[in-house]
A and B are shown apart, each in its own frame.
Chain A
Amino acid sequence: MNKMTNLSELFAAADDETLKKVADSHPMVSDTKKEELCARISERINAGEEHADFVSGVEVRRGRGTSRFVGFAAALALVLGGLGGGGLLLKNRMGAAPAAELEDSAEVETEAVTDAEELTEEEAAAIAEELILREQALMNFRTGADMEVDRTSPVYKNAWYGDKEHGREVKVKYYRVTDERYPSWADVQAEMRAVYTEDYAKHMLENCVDASKTDFYTPFFSDDTGWYARYDKADWNSGLKEWDDDITVSITPDGNIEAVASRYDVSTAFEGVDKLGSWEEQMNADPADFPRIVVDEHSHRTEKIFTIVNTDDGWRIDDIKPVYTDEEYIAEAPAKADSEDYEAAARELTDEYYRFIDKMCGQALDIDRSVTLEKEEADEAGIRYHNTYCLITDNEFPNAEAARERCFEIFSEDGKAAAEALVITPDEEWDYYSGSTFIDKGDCWYILEQFYDNSGVHTWSDDDEFTAELTSDGDIHVVRKTEYVCAKARYEETREFTLCMTDDGWRISNLYPVEQKIVNE
């Protein structure tokens, strides 16, 4: 069987041809970014052109060594020559070739205008912009980010929460919608039909759920007193979303308009809301007590393609295709197959945690009691303290460095904190007050015998309580029960873990004991 070190090293050894093939077949930058880079290249070249004008008559040295500065027009001819492999000589800026090119381009431009579609680009851009902005307003309204409601008199509707067998009846809070733009649900539907084609409007309305019935998931409902939005719309929405100004518009061969809009979304959350125990607590909480904060300072880009068609009623959006949106991806996450992956990863990592902790803080570590370091020190009162450290002979951790490295294989950035918590002190720095559990002598290390004797080990079986759930942040929340046996007693111990995905795989980012109760002494 072939072996290779790792993917990074393999790719680093790729030749230039392979590098180009791979780069060409995988997008490095978006079309918008490409246009931006092209514009910057033009500016750089023309900035040099202006500089040359300003210092005309003075030799300008640029770049490395001697270089000939060419005007933009001649540069293009040069590039043409380079691409074609011909021997095109450098042309003077005022030479015939650039001027000829200018004349040609003027002709092309004229012809281009003559051959233009009936719908001009400007008209298409105006249509697309208007529809996309109206659609944006609808979305911001539907998500609650831009919805006026009356919070002073909420109404509560009975709804069934959960499945038929295990669910329960709950009360869900709704606010009356007082937004003047949409005095009724019918007005929202009318605006949708003015923005979307009939088919797409039906599709979008289906996603709103039928506003005439109420179940736990109904975001809106109407009755004789008005129409209402579920509490989370107004109180816990994801904020206003606004497309960037530079919408790219094109006319397709069949006369439709295709527009691409993009924006950068910064991930936010309501600070402290995760401390609330349940959705009902959140429903009854005051959102003003939970300020919106940025949780991911690296904004991610959302890009969508709008297909706009001409109908009997005018131009309408017929389809919206996202490239890849965060919401779409998170929606995949709770699928059963994925849950099994996470569960397996969570079990494996927490198993590793217990094995590690049983060696660092327990009696799973191999030691040699016949080889010791005796440490003795007197305090200011003259009281002498004596500690015996035993040589660690464990093959998995032959020295302190191995233990520190293992921390980073189990814990996230907190691995460093975990390593420091091991209290490993270099031999020359030891003193009684350092509270060292371990003494590091470089090629070997020692453990405090008293600590070792008082510690125990964890045991577990596949039947022990274990739950792993994917959170909305993409972390795994684990609750796990094990047995802990030490000299003093046997305990039933429950711990909670938060696992996060890092560049190196899953790691434990947080953990805390929930409960430890004695089973027998």
Chain B
Amino acid sequence: MKDKHIKRFSASPHGDSYRQLFAQYHAYALAVVYRTLGGRVSSKDAEDCVVDVFADVIMHLDTRTAGDMQAYIGAAARNKALNLKRARAASEFYTVPEEAAGDVPDSSVNVEKSAENSEILRLALVKIDELGEPDSTIIIQKYFFGRSSAEIARIVGLSAAAVRMRLSRSLKRLRTELEELGVTL
């Protein structure tokens, strides 16, 4: 019965919607998980989190109150990641204070500084894209999502050593490019 459902729905426009939801937000959900856990997570744990997020979203979503889907999925992913962080901390006999585990952004951040950083980030992302593949993916996965060289290696199909080498070279190029725009790393 299960397989029939899945087969029918994968063939139907409605089945595609389930996949569309996943296709549209899986990368974002993964990114939220990685960032929340600060790189201290294996790809397996991150993927488990994302599976839980989408299963929960599909099973429990109340459209009357869901609001913006991206925000909903982002919040679900963040909570799942925090639960994992707390569970891990508990098993390591290390107590993470609730407020510390929450990773709540500091609302007192200087607005001007924030705007400057946004512009720098925008420039950095443009220059990273200009590096081309696989270097742009390597830098993003490393510094945006905090993934290890070994995990990045699986994504881009290189060895971990090759990833580290490419990272070093591309960072050098990136620094040079950004310095020409008056930005120093």
Instruction: Tell me how far the C-beta of B127 lies from the nearest C-beta in chain A, rounded to whole angstroms.
Output: 11
Q: Which residue of A lies closest to B119 (CB)?
A: A2
> Which of A26, A37, A88 has most B Cβ within 10 Å?
A26
List of A residues within 8 angstroms of B160 by Cβ: 296, 298, 300
Q: Tell me whether B6 is interfacial, beta carbon within 8 Å.
A: yes
Given A24-B27, A41-B51, the answer on whether A13 and B154 have CB atoms closer than 8 Å is no
**Beta-carbon contact of A14 and B27 below 8 Å:** no
Complex-state Cα separation, A29 to B26, whole angstroms: 9
List of A residues within 8 angstroms of B27 by Cβ: 20, 23-24, 26-29
Q: Which residue of A lies closest to B140 (CB)?
A: A26
> Which of B60, B116, B169, B172 has most A Cβ within 10 Å?
B60
**Beta-carbon contact of B69 and A22 below 8 Å:** no
**Beta-carbon contact of A76 and B11 below 8 Å:** no
**Beta-carbon contact of B71 and A44 below 8 Å:** no
List of B residues within 8 angstroms of A14 by Cβ: 121, 144
Against A, the Cβ 8 Å flags (1 = close, 0 = not) of B45-68 are: 001001110111011111110100
Against B, the Cβ 8 Å flags (1 = close, 0 = not) of A88-113 are: 10100000000001101110110010
Complex-state Cα separation, A63 to B60, whole angstroms: 8
**Beta-carbon contact of A18 and B63 below 8 Å:** no
Instruction: Tell me how far the C-beta of B144 lies from the nearest C-beta in chain A, rounded to whole angstroms.
Output: 4
> Which of A296, A298, A322, A338 has most B Cβ within 10 Å?
A298
Q: Which residue of A lies closest to B105 (CB)?
A: A13
**Beta-carbon contact of A105 and B69 below 8 Å:** no
Complex-state Cα separation, A23 to B124, whole angstroms: 15
Given A24-B28, A106-B8, A298-B150, the answer on whether A326 and B120 have CB atoms closer than 8 Å is no
Instruction: Tell me how far the C-beta of B120 lies from the nearest C-beta in chain A, rounded to whole angstroms.
Output: 6
Given A72-B9, A82-B66, the answer on whether A40 and B51 have CB atoms closer than 8 Å is yes
Instruction: Tell me how far the C-beta of A34 lies from the nearest C-beta in chain B, rounded to whole angstroms.
Output: 7
**Beta-carbon contact of B55 and A28 below 8 Å:** no
Complex-state Cα separation, A325 to B184, whole angstroms: 33
**Beta-carbon contact of A76 and B15 below 8 Å:** yes
Complex-state Cα separation, A112 to B169, whole angstroms: 49
Instruction: Tell me how far the C-beta of A54 lies from the nearest C-beta in chain B, rounded to whole angstroms.
Output: 13
Q: Tell me whether A212 is interfacial, beta carbon within 8 Å.
A: no
Q: Tell me whether A423 is interfacial, beta carbon within 8 Å.
A: no
List of A residues within 8 angstroms of B17 by Cβ: 76, 79-80, 83
List of A residues within 8 angstroms of B139 by Cβ: 7
**Beta-carbon contact of B153 and A502 below 8 Å:** no
Q: Tell me whether A158 is interfacial, beta carbon within 8 Å.
A: no
In the complex, chain A residues 287-304 whose Cβ is within 8 Å of any chain B Cβ:
296, 298-303
Interface of B is mostly: helix
- Size of B's binding interface in residues, CB under 8 A: 89
Complex-state Cα separation, A300 to B31, whole angstroms: 21
Instruction: Tell me how far the C-beta of A501 lies from the nearest C-beta in chain B, rounded to whole angstroms.
Output: 4
> Which of A20, A73, A333 has most B Cβ within 10 Å?
A20
Complex-state Cα separation, A40 to B116, whole angstroms: 42
Q: Tell me whether A387 is interfacial, beta carbon within 8 Å.
A: no
**Beta-carbon contact of A22 and B162 below 8 Å:** no
Q: Tell me whether A421 is interfacial, beta carbon within 8 Å.
A: no
Q: Tell me whether A450 is interfacial, beta carbon within 8 Å.
A: no
**Beta-carbon contact of B22 and A267 below 8 Å:** no
Instruction: Tell me how far the C-beta of A344 lies from the nearest C-beta in chain B, rounded to whole angstroms.
Output: 10
List of A residues within 8 angstroms of B40 by Cβ: none
Instruction: Tell me how far the C-beta of B158 lies from the nearest C-beta in chain A, rounded to whole angstroms.
Output: 6
Given A76-B18, A82-B63, A88-B63, the answer on whether A37 and B47 have CB atoms closer than 8 Å is yes
Instruction: Tell me how far the C-beta of A519 lies from the nearest C-beta in chain B, rounded to whole angstroms.
Output: 37
**Beta-carbon contact of A16 and B120 below 8 Å:** no
> Which of B32, B139, B159, B166 has most A Cβ within 10 Å?
B159
Complex-state Cα separation, A299 to B151, whole angstroms: 10
List of A residues within 8 angstroms of B120 by Cβ: 2, 4, 10
**Beta-carbon contact of B35 and A26 below 8 Å:** no
Instruction: Tell me how far the C-beta of B30 lies from the nearest C-beta in chain A, rounded to whole angstroms.
Output: 5
Return the contact of A2 from the options B64, B116, B166 (Cβ within 8 A): B116
Complex-state Cα separation, A502 to B168, whole angstroms: 9
**Beta-carbon contact of A41 and B35 below 8 Å:** no
Instruction: Tell me how far the C-beta of B116 lies from the nearest C-beta in chain A, rounded to whole angstroms.
Output: 7
Return the contact of A326 from the options B51, B125, B158 (Cβ within 8 A): B158
List of A residues within 8 angstroms of B13 by Cβ: 104-105, 108
Complex-state Cα separation, A375 to B47, whole angstroms: 59
Return the contact of B58 from the options A24, A50, A78 (Cβ within 8 A): A78
List of B residues within 8 angstroms of A76 by Cβ: 9, 14-15, 17-18, 58
**Beta-carbon contact of A75 and B12 below 8 Å:** no
**Beta-carbon contact of B28 and A34 below 8 Å:** no
**Beta-carbon contact of A101 and B52 below 8 Å:** no
**Beta-carbon contact of B185 and A503 below 8 Å:** no
Q: Tell me whether A473 is interfacial, beta carbon within 8 Å.
A: yes
**Beta-carbon contact of B59 and A501 below 8 Å:** no
**Beta-carbon contact of B117 and A13 below 8 Å:** yes
Complex-state Cα separation, A1 to B179, whole angstroms: 9
Q: Which 4 A-B pairs rank lowest in CB-CB distance, beginning with the nearest?
A: A105-B12, A298-B150, A23-B31, A44-B55
29 A-B Cβ contacts within 8 A? A2-B116, A2-B183, A4-B183, A8-B143, A10-B120, A20-B31, A22-B125, A22-B140, A28-B26, A28-B145, A28-B155, A38-B19, A38-B22, A46-B5, A46-B6, A76-B18, A82-B66, A83-B21, A105-B8, A105-B11, A105-B14, A108-B11, A109-B11, A298-B154, A299-B154, A300-B160, A301-B154, A474-B162, A500-B161
Give the interface of B toward A (CB within 8 A). Answer: 2, 5-6, 8-9, 11-15, 17-23, 26-28, 30-32, 35, 47, 50-52, 54-56, 58-64, 66, 69-71, 74, 109, 114, 116-118, 120-121, 124-125, 129, 133-134, 136-137, 139-146, 149-150, 153-162, 164-169, 171-172, 182-185
Q: A41-B58, A109-B8 are in contact. List 8 more A-B contacts (CB 8 A).
A: A75-B58, A76-B18, A86-B63, A87-B64, A105-B9, A105-B14, A345-B168, A501-B167
